[in-house]
Amino acid sequence: MRFLSITAKVKIMSGWVIVLMGVSGCGKTTVGNLVSEGLGCKFIEGDEFHSAENVVKMGSGQPLNDDDRRDWLSALNSSIGGILFRDERAVLACSALKGEYREWLVEGLDGKGFFVYLKGDFDEINKRMQERQGHYMKAGMLASQFEALEEPEDVPTFELVLGSTEIARLIMDLPEIREEK
């Protein structure tokens, strides 16, 4: 298998958004920044679209429900829609835990959202979250993320044990997003 350099600029098909999904702490932001840099496109941190109420709720240890997530996913959908309208490309970090959430996220976008699942086990991710500083989503909330998670089928899935750099390289080399030279 051929790997691309993280710094290599890969031509990505116009008007696509790669959605890196998975539970909190799985490395969506780290991998997303590497992929967006390598592909020469925008990175969107989905957490920045949460309402102040959602952030307070999660910060106090309460998991979000479907109603809490609906407005957040709608805001992300609007942002993605704007990117696609301008025929731009982006990488989005978004938990997208349930199939319904993934549907809401790409609703009306003509199939231009491409999901990639970052998968890890509870113990590994819990350790990461305990070491993380300054994030409102604390390790005590991880169990609720795994309970809500509906693992996607038929999407590229990468185990966290591969490491962020290798996962980013593999994503950039996926035939679904690469154009052959």
Separation of alpha carbons 163 and 159, rounded Å: 8
Residue 159, both tokens: 């185990």
Which is higher by pLDDT, 139 or 76? Answer: 76
Separation of alpha carbons 89 and 112, rounded Å: 10
Neighbouring C-beta atoms of residue 50, cutoff 10 Å: 21
The architecture (CATH level 2) of 28-172 comes to 3-Layer(aba) Sandwich (3.40)
Ordered by start, the domain boundaries in the chain are 28-172
In this prediction, residue 94 has a pLDDT band, given cuts at 50, 70 and 90, of: very high
For residue 159, list its beta bridge partners. Answer: 119
Q: In whole numbers, what is the pLDDT of the chain averaged over residues?
A: 85
The pTM of the full predicted model, rounded to 2 decimals, is: 0.85
Share of the chain above pLDDT 70, in %: 83
Q: How far is CA 133 from CA 9, 111, 129, in A?
A: 32, 36, 8
The answer to whether 61 and 141 have CB atoms below 8 angstroms apart is yes
Cα dihedral 44/50/56/59 (nearest 10): -40
pLDDT, residue 9, reads: 44
Question: 19 pLDDT exceeds 80?
Answer: yes
Q: Specify the DSSP class assigned to residue 160.
A: G
The answer to whether 170 and 162 have CB atoms below 8 angstroms apart is yes
Question: 61 pLDDT exceeds 90?
Answer: no
